[in-house]
Amino acid sequence: MTSSVSAFLVALAALAADRIVKIMAVRGMTPGESTDVIAGVFNITLVHNTGAAFGVFKGGTLVFSIFSAFVIAFITAYLVMNRIKGRMLAVSLGLILGGAAGNLIDRVWLGYVIDMFDFRVWPVFNVADSCITVGTIILAFNILLKKESHASCTH
């Protein structure tokens, strides 16, 4: 299996997990409702977010929809046209792709993103936001490790 296929499978898994959790939250709660999971630390709180990840830039649904569509198109084209090498890159791009798709679906269908994970000291977020964040961190480490290996080869 190529790394590009692996990336698409990761994206599909991330998207499926995001959709399932969002459907469960919407079916079981009303907007603004909050349930303690770990008292004072972690709640499930249903929020309709018109901003970006973690609730920043409220009201930017159109801008974030366009940006998400661009990210999805860019990553998809990159995966289709180039045979990427390495599991870290495949996982990172798959997570970002799946997360971007999950939030774009909400923005297009609903006009907002469904968020539910509430740690009280951080804005409420969802599975897609987590996938985008973790994917971006893995991608950054992947880039830094490649730069380090190229730098060590030149000395």
Q: Which tens digit of pLDDT belongs to each residue from 46-74?
A: 999 987 665 566 777 888 899 999 999 99
Write down the pLDDT at residue 149. 60
- 2-29: per-residue pLDDT in tens? 899 999 999 999 999 999 999 999 999 9
Closest C-alpha to 107, from 95, 97, 115, 119:
115
pLDDT digits (tens, 9 = 90+) for 88-99: 999 999 999 999
Residue whose token pair is 């000395």: 155
Rounded distance, CA 107 to CA 86, Å? Answer: 32
Q: Which two tokens stand for residue 85?
A: 């090498």
Confidence of residue 82 (pLDDT cuts 50, 70, 90): confident
Cβ contacts of 49 within 8 Å, gap of 6 or more: 55, 58, 112, 113, 114, 115, 124
Q: Which residues are catalytic?
A: 115, 129
- The 3-class SS string of 82-138 reads CCCCCHHHHHHHHHHHHHHHHHHHHHHHHCCEEEEEECCCCCCECHHHHHHHHHHHH
